[in-house]
Amino acid sequence: MIAVLLKVLPFFALIGLGYGAAKVRFFSEESVAAITRFVFYFALSAMLFRFSATLSFSEIFDPNVASAYLLGTAAVYSVATVAGFLRRQDVQTTAIEAQSASIGNTGFLGVPMLAVLLGQEAVGPIILMLSVDLIVFSSLLVILVSGARGGGLSPALLGTVARGLVNNPMIVSIVAGLAVSASGLPMPAPVESFLTTLGNAATPGALFAIGASLATKSAERLAVAGWISFCKLVLHPGFVALAAYFVFPVTPYQAAVMVSASALPVAGNVFILAQHYGIAPQRVSAAILISTAASILTVSAVIAWVHP
């Protein structure tokens, strides 16, 4: 594990650098938001597009990988949901906690870090898991919250969900890259060079942005945040491991990538959704802070376990 920890530390050091820079107000909240937008809409999108353009649809979509990840994620989602209802919480709060417990920072942390640590072959399964998170579980949250507020499953709600997916630059980048791949046309060298240069900014930019955004997070509702972090860092990779190793026939390498990605800390976009809907943003904020700090050790341990 020490060897893996030493490989993981530089990535988390970048997160720490961003945290320190924002904490001493070297970067304002507006500056952090601008860096995050640059990474989200430009650098990370370029990276995902370039990766997808070099892969075929069959190299990304594996029904066994999708099923195993969906089953494992649904399992931890269900555990968090039952726990929320046992604490007599309403549907909206329970839904945001379940989302926090099951959706990791795959886009900003998983794609840049795991592609380096586990090899470029990991990109296909990671993109597939990211797509499941965005298409299935993010849509589920919108449906549950809107339904709890009396909206019901209406054409307008489905239109809102569809627009959210179409406007997500990560989904657009993946689909556009696959379209280029399916066309069979070679990518012009200047275009590939441009995408490579822009995409290379995704790793340091995303990690720095994660750290800087953590500096604004509050550590409130620690008991609940600790439970959510436990679900995300321990139960989620555990359930995915059970599904990948014992239920669906995936390769050992695919299983290792899936479990490693499932061990990532709570995703930052869950906080954005919590803030947007006004549902327990403080506990989501605390869960992101706690899970990200603890993941330095837990992610290292999981990667050392599944990918020695």
d(CA 281, CA 287): 10
| Mean pLDDT along residues 276-283 | 85
What are the tens digits of pLDDT across the range 169-199? 889 999 999 999 988 888 899 999 999 999 9
What are the tens digits of pLDDT across the range 7-56? 889 999 999 999 999 999 998 888 988 998 999 899 999 999 999 998 88
In the chain, the domains with their CATH numbers are 2-306 (1.20.1530.20)
pLDDT attached to residue 85: 94
d(CA 11, CA 14): 5
pLDDT attached to residue 308: 60
pLDDT attached to residue 153: 63
Q: How confident is the model at residue 125 (pLDDT cuts 50, 70, 90)?
A: very high
Cβ count within 10 A of residue 58:
8
Residues 6+ apart with CB under 8 A from 9: 296
**CA torsion, points 48, 243, 162, 56, in degrees to nearest 10?**
40
d(CA 64, CA 88): 36
d(CA 200, CA 164): 27
d(CA 106, CA 44): 11
Write out the two tokens for 88.
């007599």
Write out the two tokens for 19.
């945290």
Return the CA Rg of the chain.
19
pLDDT attached to residue 220: 63
Residues 6+ apart with CB under 8 A from 235: 76, 79, 101
Structural contact between residues 174 and 52, judged by C-beta atoms closer than 8 angstroms: yes
Global confidence as pTM? 0.90
What are the tens digits of pLDDT across the range 95-106? 999 999 999 999
Nearest of 109, 115, 126 to residue 15 by alpha carbon? 109
d(CA 108, CA 256): 19
**No. of H helices and E strands in the chain?**
18, 0
Structural contact between residues 91 and 149, judged by C-beta atoms closer than 8 angstroms: no
pLDDT attached to residue 107: 86
d(CA 115, CA 121): 8
Fill in the DSSP letter of residue 90: -
